């Protein structure tokens, strides 16, 4: 069915060379072993380091900024990066159209990207898993209805849906997180549903039923550990796409509003100066790309390590 191929849409960059062999490592082996494997995989290691740095900057950003990110300095507008002619050493990446230090603003922007990225994925995960459990378990009409609904849902481009909801409800971080979450829960639902369907008829479920335990919770307890691996991988990938989605919305002026600083906003501001001050539009994009790359690499490694079955 068409939808199967949809699942691969969110996959990272294919078979990146990994030092992990397909040795059928059981997903239940210790984390200690995994750490060793991590250090042997250049891709995974890079990803982990980048993600760690990003998280660190997000948490401690306020203390790391060389200047006050909101401080305007009209007489130092549009100063180029320090290594370019006309640059100043105290503004490593230059200043923007109001004289604000770009490096400081990029550091502050990390907070929104990380916060929104993680929360939206949490929302997506919770909603998706719940839906998957419910529809897989109850099946029947509910399942068919849901599939039809999913098809309709997928016919509207995610960003358009997000924009519209924000337009109706007004921009706001909470709304943003929830609506970004709502456009991503489908993947989780499918994975969980698949697992539920395959487990539904197994013997130990029958046995547990005979013992008088509630059906739904049997299912939950047996399904979740098995799908945890897929969910973690999916979640990592979703963080990546969510960061990009959030920055796209900010770029369009529909995401998180000023004075909160986001990378997307900085790119939007920089657009007017593209012909005269290229650095405004360049560095925030680099920040986004590096962050997302880190997450994708980490996700790839996680996928290899947690469930070699997922690898094609």
Partner 1 sequence: MKSRNLALLLVLVMVLGAATVGCGQGAEQGATDDGITEIVIAQGIDVRSWDIHDHNNTATEALHVNVFDYLVWRNQDLEIQPALATSWEQVDETTWRFELREGVKWHDGEPFTAEDVKWTLERIANPETGAELREHGQYKQIQEVRIVDDHTVEIITFAPEPVLLNRLCRLGSSMLPKHYLEEVGWEGFEAHPIGTGPFKFVEWIKDDRVVLEAYDDYWRGRPEIDRLVFRAIPEDATRVAELLTGGVDIAVNVPPQEWPNVESNSDTVLKRANSQRVMLLVDRLNPEYKTSDPNVRAAIDYAIDKQALVDTIMGGAGTPTRTRVTPGNFGANPDLYNTYLYDPDKAVELLAASGYGPDNPCQITMHSPAGRYPMDKEVAQAIAAMLESVGFDVNLQIVEFGQLSNIRNAQEHQELYLIGFANSLWDAHLALNSLRQAIDGEKQHHYFINEEFEQLTAEAAVEMDRERRAEMYHRAQEIIADNHGPHIYLYQLKNSYGINKQVNFEPRADEMLWMWPVTVNEGS
Partner 2 sequence: MKRYIARRLLQIIPVIIGVSIIVFVLLRLTGDPVILMLPEDATPQEIESLTTALGLDKPLHVQYWVFFKNALKGDFGRSFRFKAPALQIVLERMPHTLQLAGAAMLVALVIAIPLGIISAVKQNSAIDLTASTVSVLGRAMPNFWLGLMLIIVFAVVLRWLPVSGKGTLSHLILPAATLGTGMAATITRLIRSSMLEVIRQDFITTARSKGLSESVVIYKHALRNALIPVVTIVGIQTATLMGGAVVTEQVFAWGGIGQLAVLALNMRDMALVQAIVMVMALIIIFANLFVDIVYCIIDPRISFE
- Helix, strand, or coil here: 95? strand
- Which of these, 54, 29, 225, 217, lies nearest to 133 by C-alpha position? 217
**Range list of H helices, 139-278:** 140-154, 158-169, 173-182, 185-199, 203-210, 215-251, 263-271
Instruction: With contacts defined by CB under 8 A, name the span among 3-11, 22-30, 243-251, 271-279 that binds partner 1.
Output: 271-279
Q: At a CB cut-off of 8 Å and minimum separation 6, what does 225 contact?
A: none
Q: Binding to partner 1 by residue 258, rule CB under 8 A?
A: yes
Q: Are 266 and 101 in contact (CB under 8 A)?
A: no
Q: In whole angstroms, what is the distance from residue 299 CA to residue 23 CA? A: 19
Q: Enumerate the β-bridge partners of residue 101.
A: 95
Note whether 75 binds partner 1 by CB under 8 A: yes
Nearest approach, Cβ of 286 to partner 1 (angstroms)? 22
Secondary structure of residue 101 in the 3-state scheme: strand
> Degrees (nearest 5) of the Cα angle 190, 115, 245?
60
Q: What's the closest the beta carbon of residue 77 comes to partner 1, in angstroms?
A: 6
Q: Does 72 bind partner 1 (CB under 8 A)?
A: yes
Residue among 106 and 280 whose Cβ is closer to partner 1: 280
- 8 A C-beta contact, residue 227 and residue 191: yes
Closest to partner 2 by CB, 199 or 292:
292
* Contact map string, positions 227 to 266, toward partner 2, x by CB under 8 A: -------------x---x--xx--xxxx---------x--
Residue 15 near partner 2 by CB under 8 A: yes
Nearer to partner 1, 81 or 117 (CB): 81
DSSP designation for 211: T
Member of 138, 153, 178, 273 binding partner 1 (CB under 8 A) = 273
* Four-residue CA torsion sign, 198, 199, 200, 206: positive
Residue 201 as a binder of partner 2 (CB under 8 A): the answer is no
Instruction: Pick the binder of partner 2 from 111, 231, 270, 307 (CB under 8 A).
Output: 270
Please tell me whether residue 312 binds partner 2 under the rule CB under 8 A. Answer: yes
Residue 278 is a binding residue for partner 1 (CB under 8 A): no
Joined together, the tokens standing for residue 159 give: 């960003």
C-alpha span between 61 and 55 (Å, rounded): 9
Q: Which is nearer to partner 2, 148 or 209 (CB)?
A: 148
Phi and psi dihedrals of 95, rounded to 5? Answer: -125, 165
Residue showing tokens 């997180």: 177
Q: Which is nearer to partner 2, 50 or 57 (CB)?
A: 50
Q: How many residues bind partner 1 (CB under 8 A)?
A: 18
Site for partner 1 contains 70 (CB under 8 A): yes
Based on the shown chain and the rule CB under 8 A, indicate whether residue 5 belongs to the binding site for partner 1.
no
Q: Which stretch binds partner 1 (CB under 8 A): 48-56, 105-113, 205-213, 265-273?
A: 265-273
CA Rg value for the chain: 23
In this chain, which of 64, 78, 159, 281 binds partner 1, going by CB under 8 A?
78
Cα of 287 vs its chain's centroid, Å: 15
Task: Select the span of 67-75, 107-115, 177-185, 241-249 touching partner 1 (CB under 8 A).
Answer: 67-75
- Nearest CB to partner 2, comparing residues 2 and 28: 2
Under the rule (CB under 8 A), what is the footprint of partner 1?
Answer: 70-72, 74-75, 77-78, 97-98, 258-259, 271-277
């Amino acid at each position: 069915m068409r939808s199967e191929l949809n699942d691969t849409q969110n996959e990272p960059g294919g078979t990146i060379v990994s030092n992990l062999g397909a040795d059928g490592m059981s997903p239940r082996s210790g984390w200690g072993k995994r750490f060793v494997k991590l250090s042997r995989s250049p891709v995974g290691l890079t990803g982990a380091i980048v993600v760690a740095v990003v998280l660190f900057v997000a948490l401690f950003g306020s203390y790391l900024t060389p200047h006050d990110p909101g401080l305007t300095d009209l007489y130092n507008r549009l100063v180029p990066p320090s290594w370019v002619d006309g640059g100043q050493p105290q503004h490593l990446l230059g200043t923007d159209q109001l004289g604000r230090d770009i490096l400081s603003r990029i550091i502050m922007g990390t907070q929104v990207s990380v916060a929104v990225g993680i929360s939206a994925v949490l929302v997506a995960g919770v909603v998706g898993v719940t839906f998957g459990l419910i529809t897989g378990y109850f099946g029947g009409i509910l399942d068919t209805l849901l599939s039809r609904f999913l098809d309709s849902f997928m016919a509207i481009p995610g960003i358009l849906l997000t924009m519209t909801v924000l337009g109706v409800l007004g921009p706001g971080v909470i709304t943003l997180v929830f609506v970004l979450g709502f456009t991503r829960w489908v993947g989780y639902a499918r994975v969980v549903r698949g697992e539920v369907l395959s487990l539904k008829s197994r013997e130990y479920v029958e046995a547990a039923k005979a013992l008088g335990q509630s059906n739904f919770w049997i299912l939950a307890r047996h399904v979740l550990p098995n799908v945890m691996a897929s969910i973690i991988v999916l979640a990592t990938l979703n963080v990546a796409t969510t960061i990009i989605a959030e920055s796209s919305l900010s770029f369009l002026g529909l995401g998180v509003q000023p004075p909160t600083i986001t990378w997307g906003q900085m790119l939007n501001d920089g657009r007017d100066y593209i012909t005269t001050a290229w650095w405004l539009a360049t560095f925030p994009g680099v920040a986004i790309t590096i962050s997302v790359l880190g997450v994708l690499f980490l996700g790839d490694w996680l996928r290899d390590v947690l469930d070699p079955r997922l690898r094609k």
